[in-house]
Amino acid sequence: MQSRLNKIREEAKAQIESARTQTEIEEIRVRLLGKKGVLTQILRGMGQLSPEERKETGQMTNKVRSEIENMLGEKFEAAKRAAKEAQFKIEKVDVTEPGKGRSLGVKHPLTITMEEISKVFMNMGFSIVEGPEVETVFNNFDALNAGPNHPARDMTDTFYITEDVLLRTQTSPVQVRTLMKQKPPIKVISPGRCFRCDTPDATHSPMFHQIEGLVVDEGITMADLKGTLDSFAKQLFGPETKTKFRPHHFPFTEPSAEVDVSCFKCGGKGCRVCKGSGWIEILGCGMVHPNVLKVGGLDTEKYTGFAFGLGVERVAMLKYGVDDIRLFYENDMRFIEQFK
């Protein structure tokens, strides 16, 4: 047994000295000292020896085991240091090498425009409310006084998901939701995405953004609407801006109007942006139709209100001189980075 243990020690010493990696050293440890290792098997078989042999074999086996453990420990630490040094050589940093450029992100021009418009109205006391982009036909059409034969309800104009569910064609359904859950006074704007079956071209997109506004209280008149929008135009486009209201028709307002502002490029003298007229159309508005107020359970003899809506893309195109709406959606950084 003594010669066998000496042989195991010498073989272990040679194997440990030739090992180069931590993995190889671990394999040697398992082979010699693991649960099924050579020395472990010797210790388990000592029960078959006589008491004298058991004592002598046990002492020598433990001594050999201790020596092997020390050799393994020293070799493992040396291999660990060598591995770390090799890693340092691979991962060394050349401090003289120029760093990689990191460009900062910028806000999208539509985001900038929406924030500017929202800020103007918030300074006038409006709150922001939001609603789902997937809407019911009731909220998108019926509650807004758009009858069953209204052309906007055609499948050529609206994205229907089911017979009663669609992608909202405007942010006006948020006004309906607000009327049904909030009692006057109401003073809100609702920015968001809308969807219509438009063929993409320089001025049309199947997805676009709107900001709608709604004010409902006792004694609200057309004068309040005109004053609000005139103040909005002056804050957004400049204090010299003038507004002009033209009669129009929307099913959810009566009377209705479209609003023009004096051209902020030429000051009303006439230019390419305003097509020589001196005026630019920016939004639609009107007094909330009594049928819409009734959806919210309001007394139309007591409460009146006004509503307005403007296209964010149109304002952004006019303000920044963009001649193709598709540029907003192509995610070309050369275009977006111009708005830093």
Domains of the chain, residue spans: 2-90, 109-339
Domain 109-339 has CATH 3.30.70.100: no
d(CA 258, CA 260): 7
Per-residue pLDDT, averaged over 7-32, amounts to 79
3-class SS of residue 153: helix
pLDDT tens-digit map of 177-215? 999 999 999 999 999 999 999 888 888 899 999 999 999
> Would you say residue 299 has pLDDT above 90?
yes
Section 240-261 average pLDDT:
93
Question: Which letter, b or e, does each residue of 254-263 get, where b requires 16 or more Cβ atoms within 10 Å of its Cβ?
Answer: eebbbbbbbb
Between 88 and 205, where is the model more confident? 205
Tokens of 135: 């809407």
Say what the pLDDT of residue 1 is.
60
Pair 192, 133: CB distance under 8 Å: yes
Asked if 212 and 190 count as a contact pair (C-beta separation under 8 A), the reply is: yes
Q: Which pLDDT tens digit goes with each residue over 147-173? A: 888 888 898 899 999 999 999 999 999
Instruction: Flag whether pLDDT at 59 surpasses 80.
Output: no
DSSP class of 210 = E
- For strands 186-195 and 127-128, give the pairing: parallel
Q: What is the pTM of this model?
A: 0.68
Cβ atoms within 10 A of the Cβ of 270, count? Answer: 15
pLDDT tens string 214-233: 999 999 999 999 999 999 99
* pLDDT tens profile 97-156: 887 888 788 899 999 999 999 999 999 999 999 999 999 999 999 999 998 888 888 988
Contact 83, 281 (CB under 8 A): no
Q: Quick one: which H or E segment has residue 327?
A: none
E strands present in 160-273: 165-167, 186-195, 207-218, 243-250, 253-262
Task: Please tell me the predicted confidence (pLDDT) of residue 44.
Answer: 65
